[in-house]
Structure 1
Amino acid sequence: MFASRPNRALLNPKFEGYKLDAVDEASVLRRQPLPYKPKQTTTSSHIPLSFREVQSRIRHNHLVSSPDLHSVFYIDGELRVVQVSFDDKMEPTCAVVFELPAPMVTDEAGELHREYASVAFAGHNAEMLFVTDGCGTLYTLMVGVAEYKATLSGTHNVPFESDAPRPFKIHTSARVDADSVILLVSAAVRLHDSSKPASVRATVEYDIYALQILLSKSDLEKPKILWHLRGADAPLYSAYAPEHAAFLLIGSEPYRSLTAPPRLSSPELSEQMPLPRTTHGDASRDDTTPPPYAWTQDEEEVTVAFPLPASTSSSAISVLFAPQSLTLRAPGAPSLSTTKLWAPIAPSSSFWTWDAAGSTRYGLLTLHIEKSHAHTRWASLFAENAATSELEVPETLDASALAHIRDALEKFTASAAEQVQNPLPSLASGELDDELDADAGARVVLSWVRASDGQPIPEPWAQSDADCSLSVLSTPLPGTSGLSLIVKHTLDGLFFTRNDHGTWTHARTHPALAFVLASKRDVRFVHHLAHRGVLALEAGAATGGGNAYIYRASGTHALHAPQAILRVAGATAGTLLGVAAVRVGGGDEVAIVCLCENDLVILRDVL
């Protein structure tokens, strides 16, 4: 699996914790009031937002970096496209480069919610900008950086399945060749189930579309839908890999083609426990010979069934229940004489039934044995001794019970192995909270699809990614290049980079990152900047929130790592809406720009 291949030499089990680095806020943080203020209110229907729609809006980044990292763009509350440029001293200049027409919003459908307006560049082309108004219209703008002005090159209505406009959001773009750009967009869809009550009848999923825009065509040309997938939610992260001509989609479930067969929600039939045999390894015995009995259990009762000839009279059956044993006399059944059971039972509440109605060959003698100690699981029917070894038959389990036991066993053995191979950092001693720590990161799967048709990549590296599930703690800082992820591993965060051959490599460990992030309840964005460290940004909606937590990288064997805390959002700045990277001057230094409702905040030299 992706995250189970850590480089052991990069793990640091002796790490003790992060130490506060009291940075001078005046030297690293600059706050600029915004003349054009964004907002995050989009609801345009009387139907409340579903959990997945709310989650998509929380994850939405309102700020986009230009490909050259010299400026950032966002759309304000009046649907004005705003460009923020920076000089060599990181002095920001805000200018409206285009005003989108006010959309004609109706509530005829009754179920459509406006999406946030979104922006994306045409791959690495810093002059071509794609903008959506959140109501279903796509605009192509040509941006003149020096003049702070954009001209409209095309207005497009996306040809979805219905003729009515459908709100959608842009996630990423890719310049696949000289003549075309592919936009990856998502649109919520409500699925109705008439068999359910009206209050819970509709469920929300997300359609993922690849829109091809031919740059040589006129502005009347509609985008072409290359392919269409569907998933449980909007992608947490998406990226284009030109070396494979493929898109990476990260979501809570695999994204599927609508023409593909549905995924099984229950274990395969091959996973069901096979019928017990009585051969005990004797190859001369007939494998079709039925077992002498079958048994199963729940929390309070053990049920044992013996197949007997249908001609058997009930008077020929004798069953005696004792606190520790069972006695059975019946034609065709194993002879049991005070045979000790696995655990004590309640004889007064145990009973048997005989049913041969409608059968000419076999009837069923069923023993209903009540456990003396409820919730105790029996490993076998009889106590282990030489007299009962030939009578033992494995418990019969249905597929769901078998799957539950298998999952519990795998979790236990994996946890035990990790404790042996990967001792926990010392700061976790006595501080573990399994329920709280489980919330760190987003549990996701990776889907690689071809840019041309949306089909899964058949190569082994892509299939290996698709077969694993992992908890993502951090994604790359928007605007920076390179494909990397930080994933949860026990209490740590493992920084993985990916090369052109499709191999993920564990390049650095951020000790106890999952542990410290688990306690942050108002975090909206978590991003990393290459090998330098991790930035966790609170939304600022909670009282006392709005902080930026900076966890800097440390040496492999360091006992401590530096941590800084800066106030970014909240109070007069308002809620945090976006974050992106910009380049400082013409050098390699990268600054972090945070977009709040009222302020623009620039962070320098924090990572």
Structure 2
Amino acid sequence: MDALFPPDRSLLFPQFETYRLQPLDPDEDVISFPLPGQGATQSRVGYNTHLLSFSEVKSRIEWNHLAAGQGRRGMYVDADWNVIGFQLEDDYQPTFSTIANIRPGPSSEPKRQPEYPSCIQLDNSYWAVADGAGALHLVKTSCAEEPFSGEIERSEGPKSSGVNSDGAESLDSEPFLIQGVRRDGDGKSLALLLSFAHPVGKAQKQLSSSTAFELVEWTIGHLGGSTANGHARLPSHFYGSDLPISVDWSGVQGSQSWTVLSSKQYTEPQAWDAQQSMEIEKKQRENLVDSRKPGLGAKRKRPSPPIFAEAESSQAAVAATTRREGAKIEEMDESAERAGNDDSPYSWTQTADAFTLHLDFPPGTSRQEITISLDDTSLDIVASSMADTDTPLFRFLRRRKRRWFGDIDAGGSTWTYEPKTGVLEFEVVKRDTNIRWPSLFVPSDDDDDDDDDETYDDIPETFDAATLAAVRESFGRIRERNSSEPEGNHPAIPALLREEMDYDLDDDEDFDGGGMMYAESGGGGGGGGHKIGRDVLVGTLTSVGEAKWSKASSTVVSLPMSGDLNDGIMIKSAVDGLLFCPPQSGDPSNRPWSHRTTSPALSFVLGSKRDVRFVKHVIQHSKDAIRTTVMAFDSGAVPGSGNAYIYYPPVDRMTAKQGVVKISGGERGALLGVGQIVVNGKIVVVALCEKELVVLRSVLRD
């Protein structure tokens, strides 16, 4: 786990054993109500009319068609393009109302692939609804004390700043999705973050092997008083190669920006070359498919041997390949050694209970010129003779008192210095053994530190020759699976590790029927491992056109049911799920998030699910603690599925409760969306299926 999400060891459950079943009554805890009209749908693409890129297909599978808001209200667009609003009463009975019809007319049909309709609540009286064909409707609704009704106050046609692949200007009607809402301090001036998809390649044939996605902040002005159309607010639009999985406005001190979770970075147009990105992606995919090495137990196509192959030439080719591989390994070792000595101010290696830190001062530096302070939590080195130099070592020493990644035993640690060579070496004993440190130091919280200084905290560990030799020897002992052995059951793989195996492309584009976010290769069931969660980067996009991104990706296994990132995101750590909340001040892309709660073995139990569409968590605040309940929802599109799996907070250090209840599939249809609504101070989970609205009124425990 990288330094952006540092775990709090006091919140972990190293002795956790199992989940115990919490009985749920389907008749008492779950109630369902038929949808009006033809119900909801996710089938809005005509057969063979448009071909989508993989990123678009994946985002459509993960799209949440239900918009849950305040005032006990929710909204969706049904199969007949009617905007349907509903309001839950005290007995959780929904009252449905048809607000408007937003079916695109023949003149507004876009030439590009239309998007799904999307809704979002702006405030207690206004909602924004996009028809997926290029129109944005502002809907004024009744106050919360009255029955839910409304009408379209005005409509707009937001445009992106993108261009077609042939360099022409954007089309008049551009489909888009509503990703998030920004509310200014007066509560009435709002802006929406919209995403546009731009095909790259043979756009004239509507065949897109790659897609560029553009994020645009669209200001809609003051509600209720102005009828003027909105305008693009961001002076610089941002481009990326994948849609974000979550977007939220961050208005904390020191970070007035959009917080974006995405597998790919979004950058300014000057840094984005869509055509080049497409070619690089295509080349990488071809190389991965043709030459990647499969994991243990994976099938691999063997090329047919040539008919007239000579035994001698085959042996010579094998020998030549072996020599080349050996030379390549030696070259990599030498390159790694040179890289560790040239640009890095220090190098370090570690074992289970200790680590060695190595620094090179200029030869001849006397011992009296170096002051060293070593304690259980930090290291402070001062070199008076290097005050006027500009070297990596001096820039590293410029910041005083660097904090260790974990506690050490200062009393049992030693250091030595050799003035002739300038070599300073520390032998440091870890306080907690059998824990491998991902980095030597914890990044500073000081905003004045430059990027180079933060990089010095994340210098990777240097592996010594003995470790590299052991790795090469272990790979030499690997044998291929025999035809008599079951697939995915290689004897060299521990049983728990098989849940973490991923036989597909390691590029977040695994797709095997389901393509779900939380079980990316699991949609159709079957054997073999599959990947849990989504590897994402944390980015911030400001209104002045700046984009900042985290240095490393992290695996997100759950997003907040409320859609508010202040409720935290669940990060995969080994087999657990750790809830992290954004910092109270500063940039969320480089300031450490705070670890609040832990769902033990969450990643492990999710690994057994094969049809999960959404994984969301609900936060319940009490006087002295935060309770996190994680819910995994089947899509309901596969026979025999349609369950909601509820994982409650731990009861003690060794056990926790889990429940399961049927909510989708069968006559209810597939699951299309989930959300939370507050009724009389109690959080209620609502699920939108194709034919019914399901209310989980008693599954959350106080």
Per the normalisation by structure 2, the TM-score is 0.60
| Corresponding residue number in structure 1 for 2:13 | 12
- Unaligned 5+ residue runs, structure 1? 266-298, 300-345, 351-367, 382-392, 403-409, 458-462
1:317 maps to what in 2? none
Q: CA deviation at 1:443?
A: 0.7
- Rg larger in 1 or in 2? 1
Counterpart for residue 326 of structure 2? 377
Counterpart code for 2:178: I
CA distance in 2, matches of 1:174, 1:372: 58
Distance in 2, Cα, partners of 1:137 & 1:120? 14
Q: How far 1:430 sits from its partner (Å)?
A: 3.5
Which amino acid counterpart does residue 136 of structure 1 have in structure 2?
Answer: G
- CA change 1:133–1:347 in 2 (3 A) is closer
What are the residue-to-residue correspondences of 1:363-374 with 2, within 5 Å?
370=319
Corresponding residue number in structure 1 for 2:663 = 568
* C-alpha displacement of 1:593: 0.3
Q: Is structure 2 residue 243 aligned with structure 1 residue 234?
A: yes
Equivalent residue for 1:343? none
Matches within 5 A, 1:246-257: 246-257=257-268
Question: 1 CA distance for matches of 2:658 and 2:250?
Answer: 33
Match of 1:505 among 570, 594, 613: 594
- 1:292-312: CA deviations, max 9, x gaps? xxxxxxx9xxxxxxxxxxxxx
Structure 2 residues not aligned, in runs of 5+: 162-169, 278-292, 294-311, 341-347, 356-431, 438-492, 503-528, 587-591, 620-626
Looking at structure 2, the residues matched to 48 and 522 of structure 1 have their Cα atoms a distance apart, in angstroms, of: 24
Secondary structure of 2:58's counterpart equals helix
Instruction: Check conservation: 2:559, 2:617, Cα contact below 8 A.
Output: yes
* Residue 179 of structure 2: aligned partner: 171
Q: Is the 8 A contact 2:219 2:230 kept in 1?
A: no
Q: Compared with structure 1, are the counterparts of its residues 223 and 20 closer, same or farther at alpha carbon in structure 2 (3 Å cutoff)?
A: same
CA distance in 1, matches of 2:156, 2:611: 37
Contact 2:177 2:196 in 1 (8 A): yes
**Which structure dedicates a bigger proportion of its chain to helix?**
2
1:208-223 matched pairs, under 5 angstroms: 208-215=215-222, 218-223=226-231
1:76, distance to aligned residue in structure 2 (A): 0.8
Matches within 5 A, 1:435-446: 435=501, 439-446=531-538
Which residue does the alignment assign to 1:385?
none
What is the deviation of 1:192? 1.4
Q: What one-letter code is carried by the residue in structure 2 that aligns with 1:93?
A: T
Q: What secondary structure is seen at the aligned counterpart in 2 of 1:432?
A: helix
SS at match of 1:58: helix
Maintained 8 Å contact 1:64/1:478: no
Could you tell me which amino acid in structure 2 is paired with residue 83 of structure 1?
A: G
Give 1:36-435 correspondences, 5 Å limit: 36=37, 37-44=39-46, 46-68=49-71, 70-104=72-106, 109=111, 112-122=112-122, 125-145=123-143, 146-161=146-161, 162-178=170-186, 180-192=189-201, 202-215=209-222, 218-226=226-234, 227-243=236-252, 244-260=255-271, 370=319, 377=326, 420-421=434-435, 430-433=495-498, 434-435=500-501
Q: Cα 1:24–1:349, aligned 2, differ >3 Å: closer, same or farther?
A: closer
> Where does 1:419-568 land on structure 2 (aligned, <5 Å)?
420-421=434-435, 430-433=495-498, 434-435=500-501, 439-450=531-542, 452-456=543-547, 466-478=550-562, 482-502=566-586, 503-530=592-619, 531-555=627-651, 558-568=653-663
Residue type of the partner of 2:84?
V
Structure 1 contact 98–151 (Cα < 8 Å) conserved = yes
8 Å Cα contact 2:19-2:655 kept in structure 1: yes
Give the number of the structure whose residues are more often strand, by fraction. Answer: 1
Shift of 1:398: 11
Counterpart in the other structure of 1:386: none
- Kindly state the Cα deviation for residue 602 of structure 1 after the two structures are TM-superposed: 0.5
1:337 alignment partner in structure 2: none
- Letter of the 1:5 partner, please give it: P
Distance of 2:332 and 2:614 partners within structure 1: 51
Q: 1:481 to 1:13 in 2, by over 3 A?
A: closer
| Secondary structure of the corresponding residue to residue 650 of structure 2 | coil
User: Could you say what secondary structure the match of 1:482 adopts?
Assistant: helix
**Relative to structure 1, is the Cα distance of residues 164 and 480 closer, same or farther in structure 2, using a 3 angstrom cutoff?**
closer
Change (3 A) 1:15 1:370: same
The one-letter code matched in structure 2 to 1:52 is S
Worse-matched range after superposition: 478-487 or 27-36: 478-487
CA distance in 2, matches of 1:380, 1:569: 53
User: Do the aligned residues in 2 keep the contact of 1:2 with 1:470 (CA within 8 Å)?
Assistant: no
Q: Deviations over 1:354-375 (max 9, x none)?
A: xxxxxxxxxxxxxx99469679
- Deviation for aligned residue 1:538: 0.8
Work out the number of aligned pairs and report it. 467
Contact 2:636 2:643 in 1 (8 A): yes
> Helix, strand or coil: the match of 2:685?
strand
Higher mean alpha-carbon deviation, 139-148 vs 487-496, is at 139-148
Contact 2:213 2:243 (C-alpha < 8 Å) held by counterparts: yes
Aligned-pair CA distance for 1:31 = 1.1
C-alpha offsets along residues 499-522 of structure 1, whole Å, 9 cap, x if unaligned? 422441111111111111122221
What is the Cα deviation at residue 478 of structure 1? 2.8
- Give the AA of the match of 1:80: N
Deviations 1:244-268 (A, max 9, x none): 3211111111111112366999xxx
Match of 1:310 in 2: none
